[in-house]
Chains A and B, each alone.
Chain A
């Protein structure tokens, strides 16, 4: 398909979004990333049955944590797509990039960068 997506999106491969722990997401924000999103399989299509549904709940939990810290819950999101939906992958990367860009750089990174 030769689709392009924003180069700021760094892909980290995991066997299943069910592998993505709350701490993994938090540690990314500690390091200064501007946003994190999970690209899980379509709901009901998880090879491990409920991995993507667990990930969805964890993302919701992290949203609450980011809100209370003051970073804002919109910096993290869960998306679903199948392995054959390349177009959707590119579209989500674009959508999340625009959202995070509107939110501005992470205040954590700004401080790390200044200091």
Chain B
């Protein structure tokens, strides 16, 4: 899933400026699961804003609304009938959702309440961890199912580096060395001989280096 962090309240208030008729738009997908932008978090931020503006003694209106998704036009279109009643849409979706809402309502201010962080997994309730960087050319078959791009601080294709010590990374002693994880996993799989294979220089054109990416599947198009 896409994992994010709620922006600091003061940053959000600063961003809103004098716009106090706010449509606070949540998303029922990834940001709900990682506890940052679902219906519940919309309720919390709306409450914070109400307390803040009541204290300031100013007029305001905060409308809470959570869409099934903000990355599909059909759902975004569901707020069209009342979006005009508000100065600004404050989106609690990931960056993709915020942008797609902005594309749908071209004359409306759209602002992010969330810092989108990474593609990750739920380690336990309330704890999420990065696993993928969407490089566009997966090599997990060669590395025992552990990604050196996302889990090595240097994204080394052949590691570990000299900063690996006791299975931990030099950037943070709490962070596992990605390449140590790869070696451990290959050992468990009885495939340690694969570690001897030199992984060639990665072609980063499938990643962000070739600009924004698009995927088309003609058979699914209407």
Contact = CB atoms under 8 A, between A and B. Distances in A.
Interface of B is mostly: helix
Interface stretch (B43-51, B99-107, B166-174, B188-196): B43-51
A27 B56 CA distance: 17
Contacts of A30: 47, 50-51, 54
Interface string A33-68: 000000000000000000000000000000001001
B80 interface: no
Interface string B47-68: 1101110111100000000000
Contacts of B40: 23
Contacts, number: 43
DSSP class of A's interface residues: helix, strand, loop or mixed? helix
Interface residues of A, number: 17
Contacts of B44: 22-23, 26, 65
B51 A111 contact: no
A90 interface: no
A115 interface: yes
B47 A111 contact: no
Contacts of B10: 68
Nearest to A110: B55
Given A26-B44, A26-B47, A69 B52 contact: yes
Contacts of B197: none
Contacts of A112: 54
A33 B138 CA distance: 55
Given A22-B44, A26-B44, A69-B48, A114 B57 contact: yes
Contacts of A114: 57
A108 interface: yes
B8 interface: yes
A89 interface: no
A109 B44 CA distance: 19
Interface of A: 22-23, 26-27, 29-30, 65, 68-71, 107-108, 111-112, 114-115
